Amino acid sequence: MLKVFNTMTRQKETFEPMTPGVVTMYVCGPTVYNYIHIGNARSAIAFDTIRRYFEYRGFKVKYVSNFTDVDDKMIKQAKKLGITVPELGDRFIKAFKEDTAALNIEPATVNPRATEHINEIIEFVQDLIDKDYAYPVDGDVYYRAHKFAHYGELSHLKLDDLEEGASQHTADEETARKEDPVDFALWKGAKPGEISWPSPWGAGRPGWHIECSVMSTHYLGDTFDIHAGGEDLVFPHHENEIAQSEAKTGKTFVHYWLHNGFVTVGDENEKMSKSLGNFVTVHDILKTVDAQTLRFFMATTQYRRPIQYSQRNLDTAARNLERLQTAYDNMGYRLKDAEGGHDPKTDQEVRQIVANYMDVMDDDFNVQNGVAEVYEVARLGNVYAERPVVFAGTLSFIRKTLTDLLSVFGVELQEAAELADQDIEDLIAERIAARKNKDFLRSDEIREQLKNQGIILEDTPQGTRWRKGN
């Protein structure tokens, strides 16, 4: 029984999709005015991992993730770069796709852009006005937060408390136009020179929250299973989405709200964000950090926990990954002299580990316990691969189990490369001969020489083998 932690109820709940076997999920994507930072990557990795686990468990997943390609930041950045807003969007959507591909994030079923749904947004806003949940003022349209009875339920905030907080920001002219400081914009009138679309309220652009209400319901229906994003989106973004969507449809918007924790950076353990200026882009990181290591590091931290991004943690992840790859190689090496058939007892042990894996992963995607089971598969595989007699069926079964479980984390193990260099092969042959003659001086010399070329030699009961390394 799969359980997920629902932000709405602050509890783990049994996950029951609306349609058996099918998961509909919407993940808030980035505003595409820059390269994504590692916080964006964390969110994308966390929910990609969750998606992969659903798929591993046999669900079909409809995964929708948007691009916010028009808002104040987009307009500002486009102006700064001297390009249009659509050009800016194109540029960083392309960069997003490159970065996420490097991190082995599965492409979404649909990646809608806000600007592709302007007409629907206008209709949606008009509907809210017709229902008296919204009102136009001087080219803007605002939502009456107080009118929506459930406002604040997701974030567990009270409107009265919000007003106090909002009171610190009442100075700006936008607030002056609102009936109430907690009201939020559905549509923003354009200032001269800004990108805009015609609407019944004049030329303008969508407010931030409305696009997600429109696109999520457009692709997934008025009600869908999972809506996800960073925990900073709980308020106001997701709260406002609920208010908009449920006011319009009169139906429950989303069954399960999932939110990922932050990435922290540096000694202060401080939240990393674009606004704090302490962010690191994936684009830059991947110049020096192995993408798969970063993926493994983030995917094996439970999505609700904070992640401390540090070199030390990355190094540990790299070693862990190497260990798993080595286990895979160790088993692959024995495939050469394995006998046909299976070892039923070992197969059974592997199946037990897989059962444990699903057990812990079913508990709100407890990847830390999940990866512990993966290490157990690796250990078992290493032990098995050292047996004098091994069976190919069992070796393959363990190897496949290892790759299957790891692919949930978005990690792909590599088959050992074939040695293509004749000189190196000759040296290895010479060393084997030297060892037979107990000429260890020469044999160690060759081993050292190859090590300097990045080839590590290992003598096993089945003969000498090599691998790349340092």
Partner RNA sequence: GGUGGUAUAGCCAAGUGGUAAGGCAGAGGUCUGCAAAACCUUCAUCGUCGGUUCGAAUCCGAUUACCACCUCCA
Q: Are 15 and 57 in contact (CB under 8 A)?
A: no
Please report whether residue 31 would count as binding RNA according to CB under 7 A: yes
Please report whether residue 301 would count as binding RNA according to CB under 7 A: yes
Binding segment for RNA (CB under 7 A), chosen from 105-113, 132-140, 230-238, 337-345, is 230-238
Q: Which is nearer to RNA, 200 or 268 (CB)?
A: 268
3 state SS of 468: strand
Q: Which is nearer to RNA, 208 or 397 (CB)?
A: 208
**What is the b/e burial string over 305-332, where b = at least 16 CB atoms within 10 angstroms of the residue's CB?**
eebebeeeebeebbebbeebbbbbbbbb
The alpha carbon torsion through 189, 193, 197, 200 (nearest 10 deg) reads 40
Please report whether residue 213 would count as binding RNA according to CB under 7 A: no
Scan residues 321-340 and list those touching RNA (CB under 7 A): 323, 326-327, 330
Q: Are 333 and 459 in contact (CB under 8 A)?
A: no
Cα dihedral across residues 156, 161, 163, 167: positive or negative: negative
Asked if residue 227 belongs to a known ligand binding site, the reply is no
Q: Are 368 and 301 in contact (CB under 8 A)?
A: yes
Binding segment for RNA (CB under 7 A), chosen from 139-147, 334-342, 380-388, 407-415, is 380-388
Please report whether residue 366 would count as binding RNA according to CB under 7 A: yes
Cα dihedral across residues 302, 306, 311, 316: positive or negative: negative
Scan residues 40-69 and list those touching RNA (CB under 7 A): 40, 42-43
The least CB distance from residue 19 to RNA, in Å, is 26
Among 363, 392, 404, 424, binds RNA (CB under 7 A): 363
Among 57, 73, 91, 177, binds RNA (CB under 7 A): 73
Residues in the chain: 470
Backbone angles phi and psi of 62, in degrees to 5: -95, 110
Tokens of 439: 């000429």
Please report whether residue 164 would count as binding RNA according to CB under 7 A: yes
Scan residues 407-466 and list those touching RNA (CB under 7 A): 435, 440, 443-444, 447, 456-460
The least CB distance from residue 417 to RNA, in Å, is 17
Q: Report how many residues bind RNA under the rule CB under 7 A.
A: 85
In the 8-state DSSP scheme, what is residue 255? E
The least CB distance from residue 74 to RNA, in Å, is 10
Please report whether residue 302 would count as binding RNA according to CB under 7 A: yes
Chain CA centroid to CA 368, Å:
16
The least CB distance from residue 221 to RNA, in Å, is 22
Among 76, 131, 156, 387, binds RNA (CB under 7 A): 156
Q: Which is nearer to RNA, 130 or 161 (CB)?
A: 161
Among 87, 284, 337, 386, binds RNA (CB under 7 A): 386
Among 109, 249, 281, 382, binds RNA (CB under 7 A): 382
Scan residues 86-115 and list those touching RNA (CB under 7 A): none
Chain CA centroid to CA 108, Å:
11
Separation between Cα atoms, residue 427 and residue 433, nearest integer Å: 10
Asked if residue 178 belongs to a known ligand binding site, the reply is no
Separation between Cα atoms, residue 41 and residue 30, nearest integer Å: 10
Q: Which is nearer to RNA, 89 or 236 (CB)?
A: 236
Tokens of 271: 């939240």
The least CB distance from residue 47 to RNA, in Å, is 9
Binding segment for RNA (CB under 7 A), chosen from 80-88, 136-144, 319-327, 404-412, is 319-327
In angstroms, the Cα distances linking 107 to 54, 63, 152, 214 are 15, 9, 33, 21
With 0-12 CB in 10 A as exposed, 13-18 as middle and 19+ as buried, what is 58? exposed
The least CB distance from residue 16 to RNA, in Å, is 20
Identify whether 200 is preceded by a cis peptide bond (ω within 30 of 0): no
Please report whether residue 166 would count as binding RNA according to CB under 7 A: yes
| Binding flags for RNA, 255-294, as an x/- string (CB under 7 A) | -----xxxxx---xxxxxxxxx------------------
The least CB distance from residue 320 to RNA, in Å, is 4
Q: Which is nearer to RNA, 31 or 115 (CB)?
A: 31
Residue 258 belongs to what H/E stretch? Answer: strand 254-260
Among 235, 281, 354, 407, binds RNA (CB under 7 A): 235
Asked if residue 28 belongs to a known ligand binding site, the reply is yes
Asked if residue 255 belongs to a known ligand binding site, the reply is no
Q: Which is nearer to RNA, 161 or 179 (CB)?
A: 161
Q: Are 69 and 32 in contact (CB under 8 A)?
A: yes
In angstroms, the Cα distances linking 94 to 99, 104, 264, 355 are 9, 15, 26, 40
Please enumerate, by residue number, every residue annotated as part of a binding site for Zn(2+).
Answer: 28, 212, 237, 241
Please enumerate, by residue number, every residue annotated as part of a binding site.
Answer: 28, 212, 237, 241, 274
